[in-house]
Structure 1
């Protein structure tokens, strides 16, 4: 890209990390809009190409299109296409989210762009990957989540698949698209070129599903049952009717301890009968009984005082008044031209120069088509499908899911990732499905960080790395030498990235937190449960994944900035910041009222007759019929006198006929598959396109997991190594970072390092392409 100002000048002027990057976003849905938002608030100049007013006046439009410019043109006309070409000649990035056939007709497919605009980074978001038989399905979460079988992966209030109110695919694909763009920019800055990068809603949804779906040749019963559909997380109703979500044993908190003592062992055993029991709540039934004896405020104060991670389940939008969110800039006030003064989500990533809101969403066509006429065409050529982060080294000291996930994503992009875990293994290994879903493509060094002997190994890891990443609470990080200042003292150029629960500043900055607490605090446990139902935890653990995605983007922005300016930095993400962003379909208005959002019904069927699940004669279908007249025409075809009678009419019709009727009416219906993991893994298109990956694992044998979340041209971006066993690579990693063989033996003998590879000659299994 041609930069009129030097990078140093841009930094001094307070411009963002991506200043000078020009992006054309052709008006589309949620994933595309949010991806453009992330790039714009990191400093890119994003022009939204729009044919009409779109959804202006909706809260989601106001948030997802902030910080952008608008050009009004219809690219379906000759004049409109000529105007688009005028923009593309000067652009660095083109972002689209059209189904494959529409992209081909518009000559905006990969092959056409390589010929017309070889300097462009083309980022495409589909419902499914290009060249998949479903590539022309609508880019719509309802359609994709049903047809992929993911609506059957959540325990609900009734039998059958349930409507997933959280747009799982779009929130994953939005970050993945932005991550793909920045990784391509890094590659270009290192002498590479332009080229395609793509993701899809199904790949965005597969990221959290990687904890749930797997097949292993030598699976233990624990792995088979890991995070199964019946899994529950401890939620309790308090005396005032407020529910709270607890993620550590509450029994030692003073009020709970006293109440349990008052009950005595016999009564506790009686109350526990019939309730689940796990490491979080061994006295689940007794706890449930006791929590109802006091109001939620008393319990929250008692549990927080005992360092027990807990949050109240609140309605969506309550987060806009949260002091911690305000302290970290995770909520901001924006004057919107349509809605007036609003409170909206801020930015989810902490980098320097900071991401920030640069303007409200633009009016239609407020930027002239001549905006880039004086900008030269970027000097960049289309490249092959090589992975963009080859040569980047990451020391991953994280645990659970939110910590290790971001390094795994960068490993998929070609980075060399060493996972450093305790000699007994990452605590998440007890939930092996979750561990497998966040650790492919890494090597494991098992190191006791509390051992004095570990310090010299940590020092050599930091010197080896380009990026040090972890989610250790900061007081503990200081004790083991892994705070930012300590890391920088060892290696002044290393990038430090930290994932916290509640953000880097504010009264809760060092509090413990887990996915469940932020599903509760963001309001999604109520929104996903349906009208009148108790709050429901989603076992996809999507707030962990949102935080991991935000952290991955933060790392890439920091790396891009270091490449351009030579300046290292401390970057960060958090569960709170990422979860607030997911509330962006709702804003708080000037009078304190909350903008309306679609509400899920009590049976968890859907949000509207034209967007919901239907039980039909031989299974389930998901319907989207929102074009003018589509639902009325479907009622006529189904023999329903009115919309309220459509459910009854369709109950006696087979799936194939319902799908045909929906298409004839101008809508779309697909099968909502049940128990679909095996069918998904065996699907030839999924295997051919890398949506399924087969590994040879040292202990599990043949291991199948969800595959690539991104593609670079035809190449799936996928980690090269299976998830490691504890310390599987301890010896070769120590040798690589400069620990002598004699030192290694001493560390192993002292118990500071665990040699899970069983000696220097242990076999390391590589992945087997599908």
Structure 2
């Protein structure tokens, strides 16, 4: 079998958070040798299941980097490495002589990715990287709907998981740039930038908004999670009205009763008969309904308990669940790689014992040694400058990945139907995944459009999309068709359930993956109905994992000259976030911390507290922090904080050195008005063809000496059709003929 994509690459990982550990896992599974540098008595090992998953396949070296001997050993490891991942702020890194400039001087070929709480140009750059505190300060806890009014604790550590993908995408982009420039450099990201990834859907502002853009999506729109006759809940995406059972039941109810039931709920953009659907679904069991909906092409999933997905056939067939013999936990089922490439991902053995590789000599990486003799020519360019991408996707996961490619400097052409992408009706969400692209409106699958399609495919290095493969084959844009036009093409597909198995071609959406992977049950809180995590995390996990595997494919192609098809999926990317628990040989699932019934937190030291005039978030995660918190708040912390203002509470928490933040609310406009956020690159602005000045979420990476490309707004429908197709040799007369036939919109 061929060597793994990153075979020969060495990574040093120094950090205990989910983000840095998961980033190391992603690179390890692509073939890199990952050395985990951990302190003696590493506290991360207390979370046995999470540690087992995130560190399988790695090597372990225990070092105390606060003493000279440990610093010297770390220096030797870095001299032998290609990539260094850490969690130090700029000041902390400089104190340890691990600052960007310091490392660049000693190791010019080294790629360094720091995952911090906030970007280094932000006033909070030195703040503690605790996800709950970052979400509180950004105002995102107020963006999540709950069973009560006010901010809600978010159970899934989604910012950490998104940061892990941002990290490895940045690392891969830097590796590709290193091949071009002959030197390493930084590829930093932060929990704040990761947390803002899903806010691309919601937080934007236009000088001349249309009514649809101005409306956005209110967090109180009812989500179609319905309780069934057996007490279980089912999540249905889009209207189930045409399925036979639903249609018959609605006809039996009659128009007046359907209208009465619907009137009990706010309007839903995904289910026009929400109230009637809810009443009818309550008459049968969850299993009956989900099987019926599946038979009639209605997207639906049961809101399952955390861990049930480990025993799902589709997950197992696609390798999203793997068997690992762990030295501590025994035979386990764990989340597997969320992506597919040739050569395939490598499933690592048990997480290492502490210091298992102490004393082993690591020779200098041959790649690192080769790079140091090269030098960049000319002005610095974005990491992926020169890459040509054809975006055939719709909805979120596919277009978002291609927007990230544009941010990284690629030239991206978005192709959508002359009537427009289905998401254009949700204008703010659509715009949030489209910046940086040239827009072409072209009817795929039409005989008249075939010459234009072939010209686009010959132009492209990469084709990326997330349509179902039967649709791709019908439109003649599947890999088998396109590789005949461009044999070196890298073709990246994002599916819902994975490329093989009985659900390979099924429709699927983020909400359904949250349901099947147990996150809706967990977000609901103890004893409460399940609750969707509004941030659409599955789409963004899938989009970023597809971007990672695409960059792996490009890295591989640069060495072999061969194109291929690579894959990612909503199910695989969401299932990976379940790494807090594994399934044991006896079928049991290891325990996790559960959200309380009031959706305020996991325990008294990690939760939200309501003060007399607002909320505070406490994240006293270390034992000594928890001890100080209890000394301050006493036996009844809720009563303690209720008697204080938010300002008073924060002052007392700070005085006792307890990590805490104000929970900011209603932050869309304050966030976009904040000059500190602007200076740190967290939001950006440009001129849009229809909206005038458009302000959106900004940069997700800091590459130091390499720029990003954040200056092109989302395209209006067909805005660049003539420019792009004309540039590929299709003349004005032919374009006008195609436009008259409805094949092109100019």
Partner of 2:551: 556
Residues 375 and 427 of structure 1: CA distance in aligned 2, closer, same or farther (over 3 Å)? closer
Query: What are the within-5 Å matches in structure 2 for residues 474-485 of structure 1?
Result: 474-485=469-480
Mapped partners of 1:431, 1:316: distance in 2: 32
| SS of 1:704 mapped into structure 2 | strand
Partner of 2:189: 199
| SS of 1:83 mapped into structure 2 | helix
Partner of 2:236: 246
Residues 738 and 360 of structure 1: CA distance in aligned 2, closer, same or farther (over 3 Å)? farther
Indicate whether 1:671 and 2:662 are aligned: yes
1:76 CA displacement: 1.0
| SS of 2:687 mapped into structure 1 | strand
Query: What are the within-5 Å matches in structure 2 for residues 298-317 of structure 1?
Result: 298-317=288-307
Partner of 2:136: 146
Task: Flag structure 2 segments of 5+ consecutive residues without an equivalent.
Answer: none
Which shows bigger deviation, 315-324 or 280-289? 280-289
1:701 CA displacement: 0.6
Q: Tell me which of 626, 650, 654 is aligned to 1:659.
A: 650
Q: Tell me which of 4, 7, 19 is aligned to 1:16.
A: 4
Mapped partners of 1:715, 1:709: distance in 2: 13
Indicate whether 1:726 and 2:714 are aligned: no
1:654 CA displacement: 2.8
Indicate whether 1:412 and 2:407 are aligned: yes
Deviations 1:230-280 (A, max 9, x none): 223211111111111111221111111111122222222222222234453
Indicate whether 1:71 and 2:61 are aligned: yes
1:577 CA displacement: 0.6
Partner of 2:117: 127
Mapped partners of 1:451, 1:33: distance in 2: 47
Deviations 1:525-560 (A, max 9, x none): 111121111111122101011000111011100000
Partner of 2:573: 578
Q: Tell me which of 45, 54, 61 is aligned to 1:56.
A: 45
Partner of 2:596: 601
| SS of 2:187 mapped into structure 1 | strand
1:375 CA displacement: 4.5
Deviations 1:729-749 (A, max 9, x none): 111110122222222121112
Indicate whether 1:439 and 2:437 are aligned: no
Indicate whether 1:31 and 2:10 are aligned: no
Mapped partners of 1:714, 1:666: distance in 2: 36
Query: What are the within-5 Å matches in structure 2 for residues 274-353 of structure 1?
Result: 274-353=264-343
| SS of 1:56 mapped into structure 2 | helix
Indicate conservation of the 8 Å contact 1:627/1:666, yes or no.
no
Indicate conservation of the 8 Å contact 2:381/2:707, yes or no.
no
| SS of 2:235 mapped into structure 1 | strand
Indicate whether 1:221 and 2:216 are aligned: no
Query: What are the within-5 Å matches in structure 2 for residues 309-708 of structure 1?
Result: 309-373=299-363, 375-376=365-366, 377-381=368-372, 386-638=381-633, 640=634, 642=635, 645-708=636-699
| SS of 2:188 mapped into structure 1 | strand
Indicate conservation of the 8 Å contact 2:230/2:285, yes or no.
yes
Indicate conservation of the 8 Å contact 2:90/2:120, yes or no.
yes
Which shows bigger deviation, 55-64 or 136-145? 55-64
Mapped partners of 1:613, 1:271: distance in 2: 35
| SS of 1:573 mapped into structure 2 | strand
| SS of 1:94 mapped into structure 2 | strand
Q: TM-score, normalised by structure 2?
A: 0.97
1:714 CA displacement: 6.2
Q: TM-score, normalised by structure 1?
A: 0.94
Deviations 1:39-63 (A, max 9, x none): 0100011101111242325111111
1:696 CA displacement: 0.6
1:116 CA displacement: 2.0
Mapped partners of 1:256, 1:589: distance in 2: 40
Deviations 1:311-335 (A, max 9, x none): 1111111110110001100000101
| SS of 2:618 mapped into structure 1 | strand
| SS of 2:254 mapped into structure 1 | helix
RMSD: 1.6
| SS of 1:256 mapped into structure 2 | helix
1:115 CA displacement: 1.8
| SS of 2:287 mapped into structure 1 | helix
1:724 CA displacement: 0.9
Indicate conservation of the 8 Å contact 1:148/1:673, yes or no.
yes
Partner of 1:44: 32
Task: Flag structure 1 segments of 5+ consecutive residues without an equivalent.
Answer: 1-12, 756-770
Indicate conservation of the 8 Å contact 2:222/2:268, yes or no.
no
Deviations 1:484-518 (A, max 9, x none): 11110111001111111110000000001111111
Mapped partners of 2:106, 2:649: distance in 1: 42
| SS of 2:347 mapped into structure 1 | coil
Residues 278 and 131 of structure 1: CA distance in aligned 2, closer, same or farther (over 3 Å)? closer
Q: How many residues align?
A: 739
Mapped partners of 1:421, 1:253: distance in 2: 29
Mapped partners of 1:371, 1:331: distance in 2: 34
Indicate whether 1:93 and 2:83 are aligned: yes
Deviations 1:113-165 (A, max 9, x none): 12222221011111000131101111111111111111111111222211111
1:26 CA displacement: 0.7
1:355 CA displacement: 1.2
Partner of 2:220: 230
1:427 CA displacement: 0.2
Mapped partners of 2:705, 2:492: distance in 1: 31
Residues 239 and 718 of structure 1: CA distance in aligned 2, closer, same or farther (over 3 Å)? farther
Indicate whether 1:208 and 2:203 are aligned: no
Q: Tell me which of 161, 177, 182 is aligned to 1:171.
A: 161
Mapped partners of 1:464, 1:22: distance in 2: 34
Indicate conservation of the 8 Å contact 1:259/1:290, yes or no.
yes
Mapped partners of 1:32, 1:630: distance in 2: 22
1:184 CA displacement: 0.8
Indicate conservation of the 8 Å contact 1:128/1:137, yes or no.
yes
Mapped partners of 1:609, 1:716: distance in 2: 43
Mapped partners of 1:472, 1:677: distance in 2: 31
Mapped partners of 1:656, 1:248: distance in 2: 44
Residues 40 and 419 of structure 1: CA distance in aligned 2, closer, same or farther (over 3 Å)? same
| SS of 2:169 mapped into structure 1 | helix
Mapped partners of 2:93, 2:646: distance in 1: 29
Mapped partners of 2:623, 2:203: distance in 1: 38
| SS of 2:524 mapped into structure 1 | coil
Residues 559 and 705 of structure 1: CA distance in aligned 2, closer, same or farther (over 3 Å)? same
Q: Tell me which of 731, 739, 748 is aligned to 2:739.
A: 748
| SS of 2:440 mapped into structure 1 | strand
